[in-house]
Structures are given as C-alpha cells and as structure tokens.
Structure 1
C-alpha cells in the first residue's frame, strides 16, 4: 500500500479496517447462493413427490433441523415474498432460464394477496420483494398492475390524523392504541415506486409523512430506535415508544435499527431530501459504534446476557445491503467507511461461522426472529437469505461500477 492510500485509510474511523474489502470473492458467495437455491428447489420438489407446491414458501430452519419449514401463502404470512425474491436475484446473477421459470411460478402464487383487503403493513414485503424484482427484471406489464394495486391497498392503512400507516390493526387493543412499527419503513418503498410509475401521486406524500412522523417519534436522542410507537387512536397524539420483539422498551433491538438504516436510505433515494441523508448517517453510525468485533450484532444490543446472547445474522444482512447503497450517496470518506463496514459484515456472513453450507439448504445460520416469544432463535430465516443475496449483488454492482435502478 502506498503512502497516500495509507494516510487515506488512517482518516477513517478506527472500527473499520482499511483492508476490509481485501480477499472477499463476491462471485464465490453468489455461486454458493445459487447452489443452495438448487438444493432448496430439490428439497421442495421431493416434499411434493416430484411436484413443487408453489403455494408453500420456505420460512425457516430451526437450529436442530436440516430442512425448510414452509408455510402456506396467505396475507398473515408476512415472509411469503422473500423466497420468490431470492429466485429473482439468483436469476439476475446466473441468467438461468430454469430459475426464472421457478421465480415466475412462485411469484404468481402471491397474486391473490394483492387482491385482498389490507391485513397489515407487510403487504410491501409480500408484493415488492417478489413482484417488484420480477418487474424490474422483466418489465412485464402484468406485474406492474399487481404492484400498483397492492400499493393502493396498503394506502388504506394510512391515517391522516396520525400521519403514519397503522402497522398491526389486530394489535390496537393489546398495545393500547394506534401502533406503527419500525418494520413499516421497509414497506414505504412500494408506495414511492407506485407514485413514480403511473400510480396515485398521493402515495408519495403518504410515504413522506410517515417517514417524517417516524423520524420525530420513533428515535431517542442518541439515534437508537424504538420498535413500536403507540399513538392515540382518535387524536393521533404520541403516547409512548416501546418494543414488541426487542429486549426492553429502552433497548436497541438489532433488526429494528437495521430496518431504520435501510428504510431511511431508501427514503433519501426516493426524495433526494438531504435531511434524510443526514439523519440516516446518525442512525447507521450509532449501530456501527456498538457492534462486536465480527460485525454481526447480538439480537438486541442491550441484552445483559451478552456475550452469551444469540446473534442476528438477518440484521447484519439488512444493514450490509443498506450501507452499500448509502455509500453511493455520501462524501468520499464516508463512502469508504460504509462500504468497508458492509464488506466486513459480508465476509463474516460468508465464513464457516455463518454459512449453512452442506448442513442445510439455507444460505445462512444464526438469525433471531422473535426471542421474547421463543420463536426462530438461532435459526436460518428466509429474510436473512434475501438480504444477504441482495447485498452481494449490490456489492458486485459497485465493484463493477454498474448502477441499475434499485427497482
């Protein structure tokens, strides 16, 4: 390394190595994903005695098990769009037409979800991870119609008196009021996209208002986030911030902070409003400062059981993908800072510590879904795999200096 490069690296934060990108083979990791995709398809085919049931989506593999637990497509199964999305990403990398056919079949099974009334905010995950990627890669107008219809359905959950989308209509009583969770930031993307692609222009305004209200009430002064914010159902007055899946109301739940980093990076992309760019850097830097040395977070940063608490690979995948995009919007110094942090995460996720390899057909191990409920602890979870392959593809585009539209 020459003196100029050495000095450049020394200006970065101490917790990001200036050689973070060295010796990471992104194509090797993507080829591994392709291998695991074929293993999963073979497993699903065997489960159906030679015929795949395209209404059953892989969801998780518990720590002690070795095959996917699949769930039937319905509007209550929020993870149904991730497996079709993985197939579209794999097709994008491999150009394998057989994978494309499987992606089309699994995606088609979700059409009925777009025709139902809104059950909760997860309609964005269900439709945009599947149909969003499908349209991006094929420009099939039928896919576009389904996305636009789903965006209009999701909009029915927006309440003007609050200024956010109601996340869980079924939990208003349990939580003591109108609730908006951090995960909802991820589901704004379908609204922005629809508003810019012949959908109703007010969807853009709804998404911006939600982002602003969440920015105001869902973060503490140190830029850590609440998982749940509760508002008065009638007046929209802020009542309290808390958690549902984290350790405590005052803790930083890893995946919630990850949703925030990804969500506000996307909001900046769609609005080009610098207040979001400035804000998301504070949220991201707070997360990065508190990471363990291997850059894979514990499921909650405040769990007193650390270092014996479970990790959450899914949060690492979401943040790695977000940081790679964020690195394309910031100053040169911060660009290197965020990219190197993301590569460090992907290197660890791609190691024997986290890849499933021969043991399971999933991509990754050691994610935590809902620890307080005793659900999906130290498991392989489908959304971890989705954001892992997405992050790898984003890194590949950056390395190759090709930057297609995100959607």
Structure 2
C-alpha cells in the first residue's frame, strides 16, 4: 500500500474497494455485451484509474513528477520537470478529468503543469513533445487557454532550434562531440504532434516541413526493409551522412525493441492523420502488420520487451509498448481500408489484457500507478517490471479511443476523435 496514507484517503479506499475493485477484474470485452454496457465497464476503468491517481497525489512531492514505483522499498520514485516522462502525469490527469469530471484531478493537473512551464525554453531537451505536448497539448483539447497555447508555441520554437538542415532531423541527444555526431532516436517521432500543432496554430509551414523531414529521415534510416526498427542512428553533423546504427534499449543492434516499434507505429499513424497522404498510411500499415503478425507476439498481445529476446517466453513483457500499440492500432483501424478489423481486434485484445488483474494494479497498490509490468531499460536492468507513467498515459488514451469507436459504430452523436 502507499505509505503515509491520511485518514481521509483510508476511508476513500474502503469505499472504493467495493465499488471499483470488482469491476477492475471484469474483462473489457464480452461477446454478450453491447456497446453501451461495454462503455459502462470502460467508465469503471476510468474511475479506478482516477482513484489510483488521487492516492498517488498524497505521496508526491510538490516539486516533482512521478517516475515509477519501487515495490521492495515501497517508494514512489520521482523526477524533476526536465525529465522526459514528466508530461505524462498531468496528461493522464486531464484525460481522467475529462471522463470523470472530478475537480480534484483538474486542480492537480494544473498544479503539475505549473512545474513544466519553464521547460518551454529548455534548449538542451529534445523531449518537449513528451513533456509539453502530452500535458499542455492534452489540456488544449479539453479546456483551451491562451496561456497553454503560448507555452506550446514557445516549446515548438525551442525544439526547432535543434533541427539540422543537413541531417533533416532534430538532434535527439547532445554528446561531447556535437560538432561531429548528430544522434536521432526513433522515440522522438513523439515530437511530431507538437510540430503539427504549431503549424496549424500559426499557419507557419516551417513546422510542418520539419515534421515531415524528420519522419522521412527516420523512415529511411531507422526502419528496416521488413518494417522492424532500430532505435538510434548517428549521422555526421557537417555532412548529414550516416555513421552508425545501434539499439540502445533493445537486445541487440539487429533486434527489434518493442517500444521502439510502438513509437514507429504511433508516429506514422499520426503522420497520416495530419497529412492524409496515402504513403504514410501504407507505412503505418506495414509497421502494424509486422507487429500484429509477428510469431513472437504472445496470445494476450502484450509484447515482450524485445521481439527477438533469446529467452522468450521466459522474459519480461512491456505494458508500455502494449499500451502505445493499442492506442495506435485503434486509431489506425479507423483509417485502414484493408486491415481495419485486424488492427481493431488486436488493439482490443491488448486493452482487455492490460485491464485484467495480470496488469492492472489493485486499488492502493503500485504507488498509485494504474498498470504494472512496464519495461524501461532492460539491457542495464533499470526500471524492470515496474509501473511507468507513459504506460498509464497511453492506456487511458487507448481506452478513450476504444470508447469513442464503440459509440461511433452504434451511430450515436459521439464524435470519433483521437485524443
């Protein structure tokens, strides 16, 4: 249980254990359920997640953001606002507020965002898409504010300063040899939504062009002929020529790190959404087919941390990769003319697995996180089999998309939009 619980939170837990915990153990999908009863079950997921995050708030230092939970020491590990995962916590709170209308979540989301505001001018970070777009960008969709817009635009401008016209990409990591090497990681496909947003908001096509160039550079250099992916590619800073490729968080340089493949799927699905160019739809479908049809994808559809890990099936699954894939597959199912059913069913199965007792934490457990069994950095045994803030964010996002698709299929007036 979370340490230092107040009397109020203990009372809340006792009340919610009966109301929420039972629903937590129901499968999301059932052949006998119609769309409306199914969405009621999904709403219970949102309530459970909201209860978890309200409990997490009590252990969270006022100047930090949640990073993971260390079960052995019953310790909520936190990060400073400049850490790449810092934006997922307020983003998740905004999603949960939209679904539950709980003002406590709204207040906490706004408080957390205050901690992130200074990051809009952080020239040393290429993670502004994750930090700022997932927080302020999510807030703009739910409760648009001029101050949020200014923060988003300032962040996009800051990010653009890391762009190289030689490499045609944004520098992902600074090194001691910035003048000689230019590193681009597949993870930073997650910056594209911020750049597309800035292009729409300002009418300035330079943001759009940089987003497209970054995607093309990653497609050419990070995506292999079989549509698997490599995480890290280094270029010559002065010439833009390829220097080397490696898989820092994967099993080997030739393997497919599951979360990297998830970033690729999500990123190219966003590219099609924003451009409506059929080539990007084909690319997203190719990546999706690699995932959906891979012989090492388990029956429950939550991938192992690397598709080529030699000790499969006796190795770690990655709930974060599964959550990202589920969110992307559900969106892609709304675009694809060929494999929509396959993408939807796989995304649905991923959600059903994540919502089961095997992956969803009991009320009050796991430091207030929702999902268990994330895999952060297996090769160095960091954040192994733990909850992760980005796993929760994309899980809740996927649930929202699933709910919208279900209601849209039944002809209600609920717009099928993609949070």
Structure 2 counterpart of 1:153, from 155, 158, 165: 158
Secondary structure at the aligned position of 2:283 is classed as helix
Aligned-residue offset at 1:36: 3.6
Deviations 1:355-387 (A, max 9, x none): 111332211111100111211000011110000
Structure-2 change in CA distance of 1:84 and 1:303 (3 Å): same
Structure 1 counterpart of 2:171, from 161, 166, 185: 166
Separation in 2 of the partners of 1:263 and 1:30? 27
Separation in 2 of the partners of 1:156 and 1:231? 17
Give the aligned length: 379
Separation in 1 of the partners of 2:389 and 2:313? 25
Structure-2 change in CA distance of 1:119 and 1:344 (3 Å): same
Deviations 1:288-342 (A, max 9, x none): 11211110111001111111111100000000000111011111x5221111110
Aligned-residue offset at 1:243: 0.9
Separation in 2 of the partners of 1:23 and 1:242? 47
Mind listing any 5+ residue stretches in structure 1 that lack a counterpart? 1-18
Deviations 1:59-95 (A, max 9, x none): 111353545322222x2x1110000001000011112
Aligned-residue offset at 1:118: 1.9
Aligned-residue offset at 1:230: 1.2
Residue number in structure 1 paired with 2:415: 403
Is 2:105 aligned against 1:96? no
Residue number in structure 2 paired with 1:237: 241
Is 2:79 aligned against 1:71? yes
1:376-395 to structure 2, matched below 5 A, reads 376-395=383-402
Separation in 1 of the partners of 2:281 and 2:70? 37
- TM-score after normalising by structure 2: 0.86
Over the aligned positions, Cα root-mean-square deviation in angstroms equals 2.1
Aligned-residue offset at 1:199: 5.8
Mind listing any 5+ residue stretches in structure 2 that lack a counterpart? 1-27, 409-413
Say whether the 8 Å CA contact 1:86–1:385 is kept in structure 2. Answer: yes
Structure 1 counterpart of 2:67, from 49, 59, 84: 59
Separation in 2 of the partners of 1:377 and 1:328? 34
Secondary structure at the aligned position of 2:245 is classed as strand
Is 2:152 aligned against 1:143? no
Residue number in structure 2 paired with 1:189: 193
1:5-404 to structure 2, matched below 5 A, reads 22=31, 25-45=38-58, 47=59, 53-64=61-72, 66-73=74-81, 75=82, 77-114=83-120, 116-170=121-175, 177-198=181-202, 200-290=204-294, 291-331=297-337, 333-358=338-363, 359-360=365-366, 361-401=368-408, 402-403=414-415
Structure-2 change in CA distance of 1:253 and 1:95 (3 Å): same
Separation in 1 of the partners of 2:56 and 2:391? 19
Deviations 1:199-242 (A, max 9, x none): 63201000001111111111111110000111112100112321
